Every structure is written in structure tokens, then in C-alpha cells.
Amino acid sequence: MGEHIGSIIELTVDKIAHGGIAVGRLDGRVVFVSDAIPGETVRARVSDDRKKSFWRADAVEVLQPSEHRRDHVWSAAAIDRDPRGRAGGAEFGHIALAHQRELKRQVLAESLQRMAGIESDVVVEPLPGDPAVNGLGWRTRIRLHVDDQGRLGPMASRSHSVIPVQDVPLATAAVQAATPFAERFLGLGTLDVIAPTTSDPRLVIGEQKPTVIRELVGEREFQLDDTGFWQVHRSAPVALTRAVQEAIDPALFDPRAENLDLYGGVGLLAAAVADRFGAETRITSVESDERATDHASENLAEWLGASAETGRVDRWLRELDAGASAADRDRLRAATIVLDPPRSGAGSEVMTVLGRLAPAQLVYVACDPVALARDVALAAEAGYRLARIRAFDLFPHTHHVEAVATLIRG
């Protein structure tokens, strides 16, 4: 293996795969091709031939372009650059914005069909304002790496090579203006640039000690660490708050039940639930990061029945299951459980315990369509069905897509 790396091949790609890579065939072998669009014929340079069943390649010339091809929104990632020198992080930037959403829809629908046996007519909805600005200027947070000369840039795709840049067009104007592209940062690994809604942009250099910032979601304020997790799209916190509120079936919601917000972060979605259902709402947010849990306790303080606990969700649920009394189990069966797991999804252990606890409804917020489809299939084994699903383009010009799914018993 290795003798084909660097070779130029010519092929037509016919579909999009999970991860945003186009798929074609060459002499019967599957080839995953970056920077191509289904329907195109391209010349591509082989980058990986270690597997007998497939190769990886990067498009270097488009022979028959798709009608959806556009000039890349980021010159640092354009097809006329050597693939090893293309900036990562905007892998759909050469595709018309509406067609990006169609490709994401295809991946989500195909994942649900293949892994959960569900035929879905889900669409991917843009966030307000994005179509008018071609999906640019949405990132309120970026992380740049430092090369051996101290210059800032993203990594190249599937690489640890830093690509120095002078702009980041997916970032908001405030983030772009605050990014010190001309400076040198020798000896540092990373630089984060953050633009909170309530204060001026700030830099977080390397392993800098966290400081507390505040973010506005509608009229509600949340405190969190500047190094902590927060949705990066300027409109995502509001969009997800509303989506989760609308995903909950009010006929199945009991404010006195043992409602849970799993992988709860600083309490954004727990607050969304309590805001919709009122002051008497009982909900516990569970998060493994202790500092995030501390912030969640403050962010949820106005609701007497809301609390935050620190713990790994799988372990926390196991302990809950093992120690639950008959009365506890009744409250859990009446519960609404919101979960917003990391990209790897909740997984079999968490979904199995949730199936035993048998809550009235699950509201699953997913940033990975394959993980979501797998977990929907696991929930089906415990008697849950997918009642509704919406998808949102929280990450324009990338392959990522967010979905909010409601699972109910029966």
C-alpha cells in the first residue's frame, strides 16, 4: 500500500457521505473525494490507499461542474490551492447554500432509513438571516492554531498542519476584527477568539485560566466560562431554545415529574423547558463539567424545582436506576427527558437505562445524524417511536447539521 498516493485519477462522484465527502467509484473501488459535489466529474489526487475497499482523494480540477458549484467562500480553502494547503473548517464552502442544506437532508434521511428503518421527509431549516448573507458571519467563537513561525490559522482538513490565514469569513464581524492575524504567537498552541453578546470580544490564549462571561438568549442571561461550551452560531441558542420548547408534547409533560436535562452544560435547555412550563417545573440538569454545573445552578436559580448536578451521564443514570424507589419510578415514567449529547451520541448504555426508566417522552438534540439514527433505533427496542423531527443549519458551509427529535412510547 502507498504506491498510489499522489496519483491523479478521474472519476464521477454520485452521492454525499456522512462527513461531507463525495463518493465515487474507480474500477469498482469506492473513492471518497473531498471538495467535490455529487454529479461532478473531477480529477482528484489520491491521499490514502491503505484500505483495499476504498481510497481517499482530494479534487484538484473540476471537469464537469455541478450547477450548484460556486467560488469558495474562503480563498484559503479554494480548489486551486494544493489540497495539503487548504484551510479546514468550511468543507461545503464551494456549494450553493440551499444545496448544502439538501445534501445535509440526504445524509440525515439516509441515516434514519438505514439505521432505524424510518422514512423521513425532514428538511434542513436555515437560521434567520443566513440566506441573505450567504451563510457567512455566524461564528461567535473560533479556535485558531499556531504554526512554527507563530502565525495563526486552522488546521488543514484531516491534518495537523496549520494553514496561516488572514481572514475567517464564517466568523462574525466582531470576531474577525478582534483576531490578531498580523501578530506572532511563538510557543503557543491555540488562540480562541470569543465575542459574547454582553461584552467586547476577547482572546483566550493557550491554557489560560477561565473567566466568567455572560450571554443573552432573548431576554434571559446565562453565565458561563469563556473556555466553556456554548453554541457557536449567533442565533443557535435562541433557535434551539424554541425548537426544544416546541418539540415537547404538552399533553405528556408533567411539571411535577422527575424531568431531566442530560448533558446539560450551563442549563440552556433546562431553562427552555422551565420557561415554557412555568415556575413549578421540576427539572434536574446533569453535566460532567463541574464548573458548568456551578454556572447551571446560578442560571436555573429562579425556579425552585430546578437544580444541577455534576456527573457523567452514564454513571449518573446507572445510580439513579439502581437506587430508584417505586415512587421515584412513577415520577420518572411521567418525565420528559431532554438530552444533548456530544457528537458521539448517547450510546447503548445510556439509551438502555433510559428505556428501563421509560419516561413519557425523550427530546433528543443531536449534532451527528448517524449517532442520532443509531440511538433512535436503540430507543425503538425499548418501545419508543420517532414522533417528530426538525433539522437546522447551525453550521453553514460545513457538513454539520443539528436535529431535534421527539421520541414517545408506543
Q: What is the DSSP letter of 34?
A: E
Q: What angle do CA 281, 215, 248 make, to 5 degrees?
A: 35
> Which residues lie across from 408 on neighbouring strands?
361, 385
Q: What angle do CA 155, 87, 2 make, to 5 degrees?
A: 75
367 catalytic? Reply is yes
d(CA 337, CA 346): 13
Is there a binding annotation on residue 249? no
Is there a binding annotation on residue 263? yes
d(CA 94, CA 72): 4
Alpha carbon separation from 239 to 194, 215, 272, 312 (Å, rounded): 20, 14, 11, 26
Of the listed 95, 332, 354, 367, which one is catalytic? 367
Neighbours of 19 (CB within 10 A): 14
d(CA 262, CA 250): 19
Give the strands of the sheet with 190-194, arranged side by side.
152-153, 141-146, 190-194, 202-205
Q: At 75, list the grid cell.
A: 480563498
Length, in residues, of the chain: 410
The distance of Cα 197 from the centroid of its chain, to the nearest Å, equals 21
Q: Residues annotated in the binding site for S-adenosyl-L-methionine, as ranges?
A: 231, 263, 287, 340
As annotated, the active-site residues are 367
Q: Residues annotated in the binding site, as ranges?
A: 231, 263, 287, 340
